[in-house]
Structure 1
Amino acid sequence: MHEEKEQKIGKKRKTYKSFRETLKACKDAVDSRWNKLQRNKDLLKPQLTWQFNSHLGKKGISGNIKVSYEDKTLSIEVKMPQDATNSAVRDTRGLSGGERSFSTLCFALALHNMTEAPIRAMDEFDVFMDAVSRKISLDTLVDFALEQGSQWMFITPHDISMVKSHEKIKKQQMAAPRS
């Protein structure tokens, strides 16, 4: 009976040891991923601002994105070239509708540049934009889509005739709704 109990205890110890080893491997994997996440957070913040500025620069605007993981906040600052005070707009509500739409588009593209997706869609991204901003936005989007190699759908009620032709671009205009 004593020998039988010793064998059972030995089996339980082996099982326990196996579970401890598996647990340690899982803990090491989680710790490794956590460390990579922390490192990536610090590396991606400046990259997001750089990408944002790259897109804003096509219209002569500059900006900054501040990310606080601790406060769980993200703030966008935009500096318009015609602003003589050299102060950045910290609240996007201080921008005109077209400026806000363009800044939002630039922010979305900065995020898109940092993620991978086979299909993406932008709906009414050009709302409140004037013709010049709309042209710059469409060119920016089309160039970005061609560069990324993913499929994009741009949905807009505005004229898209100015979108450049390319073998990978298909334009489709729907009939106007009936009154």
Structure 2
Amino acid sequence: MQVLGLDLRWKKFQRNAGLLKRQLTWLFNEHLGKKGISGFINVDYKSKILSVELTMPQDASRDTVRDTRGLSGGERSFSTLCFTLALHGMTEAPFRAMDEFDVFMDAVSRKISLDTLVDFAVAQGSQWVFITPHDISMVKPGDRVKKQQMAAPRG
């Protein structure tokens, strides 16, 4: 009897692991789609390897990028943000902090990222702290959104 119970739990564990991989890719794609990018996250539990594949909309060949080192700094920052938000969507925490999430991003990517982050944070109902040296004037304060801007450092 004990072996049957162990086998059943192992099969359920493997099924849940597969479902979590699919959910992670689905959430990742949901965030990437805001810039017209699509992607896939492959989790190899045996080898303990996580790999990311992206298809960029501006790439006429529609080749899949398998090595994120081939992306520009802004593309890498945006895809990392999307991956992080996908993970955040699968976990719960009363508060979260993100520091310089928009490094290397151009103004358009930064706006999309800030909008995505604020919408996600408000929908989650948890407290978030975003730290960035860039302009955040496009983020509108509200009942659940407070902005605090520090003075520029003196040189």
The TM-score normalised by the length of structure 2 is: 0.92
1:7 corresponds to:
none
User: What runs of 5+ residues in structure 2 fail to find an aligned partner?
Assistant: none
Structure 2 residue 35 is matched with structure 1 residue 59: yes
Aligned residue identity for 1:80: M
Q: Which has the higher contact order (CA 8 A, sep 6+)?
A: 2
Matches within 5 A, 1:3-152: 34-152=10-128
Aligned partners of 2:66 and 2:60: how far apart in 1?
16
Higher helix share: 1
Give a deviation string over 1:56-76, Cα, whole Å, max 9, x none: 000111111111001100000
Aligned amino acid, residue 15 of structure 2:
R
**Which blocks of at least 5 consecutive residues in structure 1 are unaligned?**
1-26
Aligned residues: 154
- TM-score, structure 1 length as denominator? 0.80
Alignment partner of 2:129: what SS?
A: strand
Counterpart CA distance in 1 for 2:100 and 2:19 is 31
Comparing 167-176 and 37-46, the one that deviates more: 37-46
Does residue 168 (structure 1) correspond to residue 133 (structure 2)? The answer is no
User: Rg: which structure is higher?
Assistant: 1
SS at 2:33's partner residue?
helix
RMSD: 1.9
Identity %: 76
